[in-house]
């Protein structure tokens, strides 16, 4: 029977054994990342995320992992991020935000530490921050209109959008040579200080995502409009950054 672990550590050994059984010598390492690695795991609410490093032969035979991947879905383990060393090396300029967020907080549970030695170019990182923010701003406006002003749909839109923006916040701290804290509340405090966005608004957004705050029908539209305004302000801030 599938079980939801109270702590991610409870499933590490079984995860290792399962993927060793699937990939054998083609399995190079398994890393925990995401909320569980940052100390923000909430049983039955949080998903558990793993990066699995494979050889080129292993990545060419992912179909062997069908049953194992589906088995762990029942325990709220997301489909792992399967990568190779060459893919990471050749993608640091394309996905710097994603690799920064992996590198910021992770835990090696098996094998080599593949993320330790990689460095990121700040010019590529700033460019992706600008592109992501401007793209997400367009999407927020678009999906906001599609809610029709429904309180419930606006809350769902807010919850879906949060992870992307927190990834960008970490990147912005890195660009300013500020240490990236593991806790979302501490991250908000720092990014608010550095960029001038309203941290109280994003604290409310965190609560909406976690289900601890509900918007009233009368405040949902204005709340979303202010959220969009904060992202607009952040986009302008990044647009003016000068990275040498």
Q: 60-89, pLDDT tens digit by residue?
A: 999 999 999 999 999 999 999 999 999 999
For residue 75, report the phi and psi dihedrals to the nearest 5 degrees: -105, 20
On the CB side of 151, how many CA atoms lie within 13 Å of its CA?
9
- For residue 2, the model assigns a pLDDT of 63
Q: Give percent above pLDDT 70 in the chain.
A: 99
- Contact indicator for 16, 10 with CB cutoff of 8 Å: no
- Antiparallel, parallel or unpaired: β 27-33 and 106-111: antiparallel
The dihedral formed by the CA atoms of 74, 39, 59 and 127, expressed in degrees to the nearest 10: 120
What does pLDDT average to over the chain? 93
Cβ atoms < 10 Å from Cβ of 125: 21
What pLDDT digit, counting tens, does each position of 200-214 carry? 888 898 889 888 889
pTM value surpassing 0.75:
yes
- Output the CA torsion sign for 119, 166, 162, 79: positive
Residue 1 has pLDDT above 80, yes or no: no
- Contact indicator for 180, 173 with CB cutoff of 8 Å: yes
Q: In what order do the strands lie in the sheet with 49-54?
A: 81-83, 49-54, 27-33, 106-111
- For residue 244, the model assigns a pLDDT of 65
**Type and span of the H or E element at 181:** none
Instruction: Give the closest residue to 115 by CA, choosing from 181, 189, 52, 172.
Output: 52
Task: Give SS3 for 48.
Answer: strand
Query: Residues 184-198: what's their mean pLDDT?
Result: 85
- For residue 146, the model assigns a pLDDT of 97
- Output the CA torsion sign for 20, 23, 28, 32: negative
Residue 147 has pLDDT above 90, yes or no: yes
């Amino acid at each position: 029977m599938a079980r939801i672990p109270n702590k991610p550590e409870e499933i590490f050994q079984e995860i290792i054994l399962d993927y060793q059984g699937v990939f054998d010598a083609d399995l190079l390492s398994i890393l925990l990342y995401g909320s569980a690695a940052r100390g923000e795991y909430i049983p039955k609410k949080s998903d558990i995320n793993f990066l699995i490093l494979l050889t080129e032969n292993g990545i060419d035979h992912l179909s062997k992992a069908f049953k194992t991947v589906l088995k762990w879905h029942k325990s709220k383990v997301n489909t792992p991020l399967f990568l190779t060393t060459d893919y990471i090396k050749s993608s640091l300029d394309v996905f710097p935000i994603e690799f920064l967020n992996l590198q910021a907080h992770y835990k090696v549970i098996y094998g080599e530490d593949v993320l330790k030695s990689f460095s990121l170019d700040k010019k590529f990182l700033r460019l992706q921050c600008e592109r992501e923010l401007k793209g997400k701003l367009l999407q927020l406006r678009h999906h906001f209109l599609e809610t029709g002003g429904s309180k419930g749909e606006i809350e769902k839109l807010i919850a879906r959008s949060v992870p992307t923006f927190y990834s960008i916040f970490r990147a912005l701290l890195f660009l300013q040579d500020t240490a990236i804290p593991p806790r979302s509340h501490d991250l908000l405090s720092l990014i608010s200080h550095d960029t001038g966005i309203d941290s109280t608004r994003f604290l409310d957004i965190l609560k909406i995502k976690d289900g601890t705050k509900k918007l009233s029908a009368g405040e949902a539209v204005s709340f979303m409009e202010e959220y969009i305004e904060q992202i607009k302000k952040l986009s302008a801030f990044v647009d003016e950054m000068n990275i040498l």
